[in-house]
Amino acid sequence: MVPLRGYTSLHPNQISKWKSDFIENASQYMTTPKEGKSDHAEKEIKKLYEKIGRLQMENDYLKKRLI
């Protein structure tokens, strides 16, 4: 802790708290993006797939109308 304290104006207790928080949650910080997908990303992917489906249906409809 002492070397880090010398480089910053942070209180040593704050550094200790960050360190303990990191150690407790290290697995979450060290996952690959594939393993750690957030709910937001999954919702966005679902929304995009739905949009692709709608666009394919519109495209098929317009193709049939032109023939």
Q: Where are the domains of the chain?
A: 1-30, 33-67
Q: How high is the mean pLDDT of the chain?
A: 82
Query: Is 60's pLDDT higher than 90?
Result: yes
pLDDT exceeds 80 at position 14: yes
Comparing 30-34, 42-46, 60-64, the range with the smallest average pLDDT is: 30-34
Q: Is 28 within 8 Å of 38 (Cβ atoms)?
A: no
- Separation of alpha carbons 45 and 6, rounded Å: 46
CB atoms within 10 A of CB 5: 13
| 51 vs 66, higher pLDDT | 51
pLDDT of residue 36: 54
7 or 62, higher pLDDT: 62
